[in-house]
Amino acid sequence: MYKKIVWSLIGFIVVLVGIFFILVFTDSPKSPEEAHKDKKETEVHAVTAAEENDVEEGAETPNPFGQKSTQEELTDSDYRNYIHKMSHQKVKADEKWGFYEITPERIDWLLQGLNQVNLKNESVYRDILERWKDGDFSKVDQDHNAIWQLQGGTIGKATGILSPEEEEAFLQETEEQQ
């Protein structure tokens, strides 16, 4: 009887340690509470020209998102963040947290960066960015949701594509929030 109790406790401890390592060392989806916290921290934000110029002097290829990171420093998280926020320009969704305007410079910069780093989801990013570079936004809602799922999204799934008039209204609204 004593042996069964000891082995049961050992097994229970091993399971707990395993769960701990899984939770700590995996990129788990965000809970609704974490997503809500992120929303408060990243309200819709269009990068202004002043922010775009706020990069280190002498940088060979300035980050067109107004941040200091270089192409060589880009991570999967960076690509998910940039593509997700750019897609907000063209998708219908109940919630949109963050925004970057889609520009040829940003698309080209991200595509060039893919040639300089090894990323887990590189093929997903390349597929999306190459279509966008060609002006093909026919699957932008699916693109948004693919990235949203990689981020563990629970709120704000894209439900369609904005019409040109809706997109223009969204751009004007975000510009007014500046």
Say how far apart CA 46 and CA 28 lie, in whole Å: 28
Residue 37, classed as helix, strand or coil, is: helix
CB atoms under 10 Å from CB of 99, counted, come to 23
pLDDT number for residue 94: 86
How remote is the C-alpha of 97 from its chain's centroid? 10
Indicate the residue type of 67: Q
Average pLDDT over residues 75-83: 91
How sure is the predictor about 20, in pLDDT bands with cuts at 50, 70 and 90?
Answer: low
Taking the C-alpha atoms of residue 124 and residue 146, their distance in angstroms, rounded to an integer, is 8
* Phi, psi dihedral angles at 176 (to 5 degrees): -70, -25
170 has pLDDT over 60: yes
Report the half-sphere exposure of 71 (CA within 13 A, side-chain side).
Answer: 17
Average pLDDT over residues 39-51: 40
SS3 53: coil
Q: How confident is the model at residue 177 (pLDDT cuts 50, 70, 90)?
A: confident
> Across all residues in the chain, what is the average pLDDT?
78
Transcribe 139-174 into DSSP letters: THHHHHHHHHHHTT--S--EEEE--HHHHHHHHHHH
The pLDDT assigned to 59 comes to 44
Residues 112-161 pLDDT 10s: 999 988 889 999 999 999 999 999 999 998 999 899 888 888 888 888 88
